[in-house]
Structure 1
Amino acid sequence: MKTLISRIALGLAALAMSPALVYAQDLDAIAERVTEFTLDNGLHLIIIERPVAPVATFVTFVNVGGVDEPVNNTGVAHIFEHMAFKGSRNIGTRDWEAEQAALEKMDAAYQAWLEESYSSQPDEARLDALWQEFEQWQQAAGEYINSEEFSQLIEREGGVGLNAFTSADATGYFYSLPQNKAELWFYLEAERFRNPVFREFYVEKDVIMEERRMRTDSSPQGRLLEEFLSVAYSAHPYRNPVIGWASDIAATTMADTRKFFETYYVPSNMTVAIAGDVDPQAMRELAETYLGGLPAAKHPPSVKTIEPPQRGERRFVIEEQSQPLFIAGYKTVAADHPDAAALEMLSTILSSGRTSRLYRRMVQDEQLALAVQALTGFPGSRYPSLFVTFAVPNAGVALADIERVLNEEIDKAKAGEIAQQELDRAVTNARAGAVRGLNSNMGLALNMAQAHAQRGSWQQAFTYLDDLSAVTLDDLQRVAQTYLVKSNRTVGSIQNAAIQGGAGQ
């Protein structure tokens, strides 16, 4: 019997020759290896049998990201991600009751210090006293901690790849275990999501603040992207950095983070995908035993803010002594919009690979740029997002020349100057990318969990290729003319202060 991935690979390769029929048959073959069910509390599980090795990959996908964060607490989704590795009342502590008492007093002292620091005339003596009290209880709580016990348990039992991510749209947790250790995963996942403990909370906030300094404050590209989103979006929370604004990271307390967890980490907002050498019935029994105890709760609210129509082109310049950079973005659509596939194909034709239009012209032929990229779905795709072009100019190249060439290539797309051969190559590359992305337990589990959570069905991880294959040259021209227009554009750059004549002049 062929393995699941070999069927997928063969089906996708055959699709390059015969689109609809073979692909439908391939989906049938995939479905034979997929079992899905929903627990009474609303948690959905997808089990993918892939018996090529006695291991399995486990993914918990939570449909919450930076876009969902409340005012004053940007970055809280990422903060909680860190907390999810700190254990539970049973894991990571020497004395939970004593630790809990210290944690509560620690957070109360921090909240009092925070309120005093925000007052119009803060009392410095009171601030010092409250901070000393906070540090006292933080030290007391630390005496009860078995640091890293959660991850050490996993590693001791053969677990690998323990990690997580937080994006604008979602948060994901994943690792792999020997197939016969599946029960351990269910136990640990239930522990950390039933009643998480926010131990080492303020220590981790310091770690996150350092991440922000490294990735944003000390990075020209990070500074440019943060400024770009805050200018491009007037109202929608995509304007906020996933890492959070520094003041919000500082202001977020354990109580804030717990409220966020209780609102969004509910079973109906979580999807579990397991891929590997597993028995679906056994997984179902373990799920009911361990994850069935997660309490059902009201489904979390969705973002109601709609970005208003842009009234004209927006521009900004960051003047500093660093590598010049250029970025431009156009308001487009969410991933579930009919035009999303055409926009993705357009970005692929423009900048994916050495044969792409922008690479050939700007990097290879005219040597204007060290790197150039076009992408869609930034910073997320659950809500209407951006089609972005980004370039790093070579030494001595004016940003005005970078912008001129990018605009010329976009104008060619508007004029219908893309050839069928280019579109065919882009579709072929998309299929190849899909095969690569599915050539592992991790790729299967993560892609199928995301497809279910954000598009309603794991099959969307595969049928989206049908949408890409259906894109026509007329579609490419139409979306370019509709969305890639000056009045819908935000342009930003980093320029050395002494250089004149770049973008934005």
Structure 2
Amino acid sequence: MMKRKPAQAFFLLLLPCLLLAQNLQDFEKRVTEFTLPNGLHFIVLERHEAPVVSFHTYVNAGAVDDPGGKTGLAHMFEHMAFKGTRTIGTTNYAEERKALAAIEAAYDRLDSERDRGLRADPKKLQELESGLKAALEKAGAYVDQNAYFRIIEESGGVGLNAGTGEDSTSYYYSLPANRIELWFLMESQRFLTPVFREFYKERDVVREERRMRIESNPQGKLMEMLLAMTFVAHPYRNLPGGWASDIESLRVGDARRFFQTYYVPANITIAIAGDVQPAQVRRLAEKYFAALPKAPAPPELRTVDPPQQGERRAQVVSPSQPLLMAGYKRP
């Protein structure tokens, strides 16, 4: 058996580390970062192996940023981000705008009567509900259904999706490299001039998601109870989908205020990876995203959960197989 010298053995042990360091250096050379004057940050990774580019917009706002009594709002706006703009998703925005305003007026009247509680007039409530239904139908007539998705998919886009977590909301998909400018147009417009069309229809969708994932799902029920028990004060106690009563009372104004507070350039980072040139990305970023108004990043959450004094246990009764969940806090 041939014996290696100590120096040779040391080199063989060190070789994987050297290769890893070399790969990391090569990777870093292909990464470019820049920030627009309005505070929007870009990270660009060149990968020229295939003529494809992937885009990921990271918004530093999630379920923990939902205002009290309005859980599910971050998730609700995620749905709204696919509904289009003043030019995408409508057949006649001038008329649609009037119809959307009529919906809010109808909802204001209905909520005002509902707020009377036991003193509310049942006949008047029925009339107001009929008026709201008519206003919703009128606005719906101007909607160009799924226009945002259709434009992306017809241009070769794949993986178009989004997700809302506890701390962030992400939007992502991929396009052929020769369609990169389309992404800059579409993404900038939905954060510059979003239109909250079909808000109440999507609110019903979000409510149904909760029924399926939590209320009709034993594992979802258990997770909801675990979080509510684990966090006493911190908003981590709330799932991103929100609580049912909060979802059912969300209004367009709530979503608009959330958007204006958290969807500011200083609170957004965009990562682009694929067959691109950094100079091209910077030029297009300045062309399409410079119009986003500069605004300060929202204040950080200050709520701190009190120290846990001991083990906490809870039991959820549900017609299912036995399930056990255990959680451990970490810094």
TM, length-normalised to structure 2: 0.93
Partner of 1:185: 183
SS at match of 2:153: helix
Q: CA RMSD in A?
A: 1.8
> How far off is 1:19 after superposition?
7.3
Matched positions, count: 320
Is 1:75 the equivalent of 2:72?
yes
What letter corresponds to residue 85 of structure 2 in structure 1?
S
Does structure 2 conserve the Cα–Cα contact (< 8 Å) formed by 1:46 and 1:272? yes
Q: How far, CA to CA, are the matches of 2:222 and 2:278 in structure 1? A: 47
Cα distance between partner residues in 1 of 2:317 and 2:152: 47
Query: Structure 2: how far apart are the matches of 1:70 and 1:16?
Result: 54
Aligned to 1:91, which of 82, 88, 91?
88
Aligned partner of 1:321: which letter? P
Matched residue, 1:131? 129
Q: Residues 388-399 of structure 1 correspond to what in structure 2 (within 5 A)?
A: none
Does residue 274 (structure 1) correspond to residue 272 (structure 2)? The answer is: yes
Report which structure shows greater RCO (CA 8 Å, sep ≥6). Answer: 2
Kindly indicate whether the alpha-carbon contact (under 8 Å) linking 2:55 and 2:272 is maintained by their aligned counterparts in 1: yes
Q: Normalising by structure 1, what TM-score?
A: 0.61
Q: Which runs of 5+ in 1 are unaligned?
A: 1-13, 334-505
CA distance in 2, matches of 1:16, 1:75: 51
Q: 1:313 to 1:119 in 2, by over 3 A?
A: farther
Give the corresponding residue for 2:107: 110
Tell me the amino acid that sits aligned with residue 50 of structure 1. R
Letter in 2 for 1:125: K
Q: What's the secondary structure of 1:300's corresponding residue?
A: coil
The residue that corresponds to 1:241 in the other structure is: 239
Change over 3 Å in CA distance of 1:18–1:105 after alignment to 2: farther
Does 2:318 align with 1:320? yes
Shift of 1:112: 3.2
Q: How far off is 1:207 after superposition? A: 1.1
2:201 maps to: 203
Residue 174 of structure 1, CA deviation: 0.7
What are the residue-to-residue correspondences of 1:143-158 with 2, within 5 Å? 143-158=141-156
Partner AA of 1:194 in structure 2: L
Alpha carbons 1:78, 1:166 under 8 Å: kept: yes
Cα deviation, 1:283-318, whole Å, max 9, x if unaligned, reads 110000001111111211211100001122211111
Partner-residue secondary structure (3-state), 2:325: strand
Which residue of the other structure, out of 168, 171, 182, is the alignment partner of 1:170?
168
Within a 5 Å distance, the mapping from 1:8-407 to structure 2 comes to 22-121=19-118, 122-333=120-331
Match of 1:317, as an amino acid?
Q
Shift of 1:150: 1.0
Measured in 2, the distance between the counterparts of 1:82 and 1:130 equals 27
Call closer, same or farther: CA 1:204–1:16 in 2, change over 3 Å: farther
CA drift at 1:16: 9.0
Conserved 8 A contact 1:167-1:242:
yes
Overall identity of the aligned pairs, in %: 51
- For residues 59-94 of structure 1, the C-alpha deviation after alignment (integer angstroms, 9 at most, x for no partner) is 111111101110121001111111111110011111
Amino acid in structure 2 at the alignment position of 1:250: E
CA 1:139–1:15 in structure 2 vs 1: closer, same or farther (change >3 Å)?
Answer: farther
C-alpha distance in structure 1 between counterparts of 2:318 and 2:293, whole Å: 52
- Cα distance in 1 for partners of 2:226, 2:12 equals 39
